[in-house]
Structure 1
Amino acid sequence: MQVTINGIDTRYVLSNEGGGPWLTFIHQLAGDLSVWDQLAGYFRNDYTVLRYDLRGHGQTAVSPDAFSIATLADDLAELLDRLGAPSTHVVGLSIGGMVAQQFAADHQARVDTLTVVGAPAFTPEEARPTFGQRASSVRQSGTASIVEVTLERWLTTGFRRAHPEVVEQIAETIARTPAEGFARAAEAVRDFDVRGRLASVARPTLVVAGKHDSGTPNAASKVIADTVPGARFEILDAAHLSPIEDSQRFTAILETFLRSSV
């Protein structure tokens, strides 16, 4: 389905066989809603599951202007308004985890629970030039040029060897991402910092880190868990895409968390 959100033609998929509480999944940089296919299939009998493509990703239009993570959080709020969802459980991966945190800070009354996966509370000063360089490189050479190095960060060597079909699908998604869509999102990540607002997030919160995640070290994820009152912290035997690489444990942890937070 397509809907125009804050001037951007946005793709979303809604699965509500169970007609239960809303559960929203937000994907990673250079990803799309397909990363949540398995999770959506699992939870759709008990929840109204929403997945969507961020600006400039998947089948959502590229933003004509620069934007921030706060803009992406406002996009989610507007999408929920259009779909008639007063509140939702929010699960975000990577940049999606940044959007989820920002959404919880800016629209807390609309958050039932918050789950942050493989994302920091802020981009450190020393890491910011890296995202600017990635944006510039992709504008020049396209997203196909970053496929291999991205896969190496996202998935462990053992997983990539054992599941080539999964790796191929993820690689195709990266390569299909519009260069300008990736670049503008990377620049939003560069400037992200919500750590000063997390202590006021009064919602049940789960933080999940990958043991082998070089892009978002465990310590960076733990900052969130240590700042949000009562937050839970879990480390999975995976790299950046823990919902894919350690899917059984991730699903079990998320299901338990959601049920215990009702």
Structure 2
Amino acid sequence: MASVDCSYSIKGSGPAVFFVHGIGARKTSWNEVCHHLEKDFTCISYDLRGHGDSPKGFMPYSLEDLVDDLETLRQKLNIQKIHIVGHSLGGMIGPAYALSFPENVISVSLLSTAAFRTTEDKNKVLAVLTSMRENGIGPILSTLTERWFTDQFIKARSAYVEFRLQQVLETDPEVFLDVFRIYAETEMSPWLNKIKHPCLVLT
């Protein structure tokens, strides 16, 4: 499948860091992070295909399509070496990119993504996907909120939680379900150890 021309934002100067958001999010999700780093790094955040201001492209998507979109953007910006920071689904795109294009990568950061799932873990994620397919995304928002945020964070940053849920509701449901499928079906354990770049893993 052909890559799409993703909408992006660039702030700061220095070594390039590509920030890859998760399911139903936006490049603006990284604004606070970029604000703290832009003095020392060139911070590039972008909307995944079908999210925010990026075109939808042809469906269904694959993880490889999302990797190709990142490579297309890197080439467009003519940046040779990059750090990659990925959250959730973005934390799968980052290492998959490093596996496909190792010569372009300096480091990879994986934030609250998923690997080495147990059968129970996988079944839980697939159950959420099935519920959304049958009943729509709205009824499952409370479950997603519990998965994404701690009770302490919800109390302290309620405005951000609402901001994040609004992003979900504004995402094309077809796109949301398709990228959630990629997240649910991707298991990185067979190939994650093949990545030899410095990695930071946070959850």
Normalised TM-score (structure 2)? 0.88
1:11 correspondence with 2:27:
no
Q: How many residues align?
A: 203
| Paired residues for 1:90-169 under 5 Å | 90-121=84-115, 124-169=118-163
1:77-92 pair list within 5 angstroms: 77-92=71-86
Q: 2:187 aligns with which of 172, 193, 204?
A: 193
CA drift of 1:201 comes to 1.6
Q: How far is the alpha carbon of 1:208 from its aligned partner? A: 0.8
Deviation larger for 188-197 or 113-122: 188-197
Residue type of the partner of 1:8? Answer: V
Secondary structure, counterpart of 1:206 in structure 2: strand
Structure-1 residue corresponding to 2:169: 175
Q: Residues 99, 187 of structure 1: CA spacing in aligned structure 2 closer, same or farther, 3 A cutoff?
A: same
1:207 and 2:180 aligned:
no
Give the Cα–Cα distance (whole angstroms) in 1 for the partners of residues 118 and 69 of structure 2: 25
SS at match of 2:113: coil
Aligned to 1:57: 51
| Counterpart for residue 23 of structure 1 | 17
State the percentage of identical aligned residues. 27
TM-score under structure 1 length normalisation? 0.70
Q: What is the DSSP-based 3-state SS (H/G/I as helix, E as strand, rest coil) of the residue aligned with 1:148?
A: helix
Matched letter for residue 149 of structure 1:
T
Q: Which has the higher contact order (CA 8 A, sep 6+)?
A: 2
Unaligned ranges ≥5, structure 1: 210-262
SS in 1 for 2:60: coil
Offset of residue 182 of structure 1: 0.9
SS of aligned partner of 1:195: coil
* RMSD after superposition: 2.2
1:177 Cα deviation from its structure 2 partner: 1.5
C-alpha distance in structure 2 between counterparts of 1:164 and 1:128, whole Å: 29
Structure 2 letter corresponding to 1:91: V
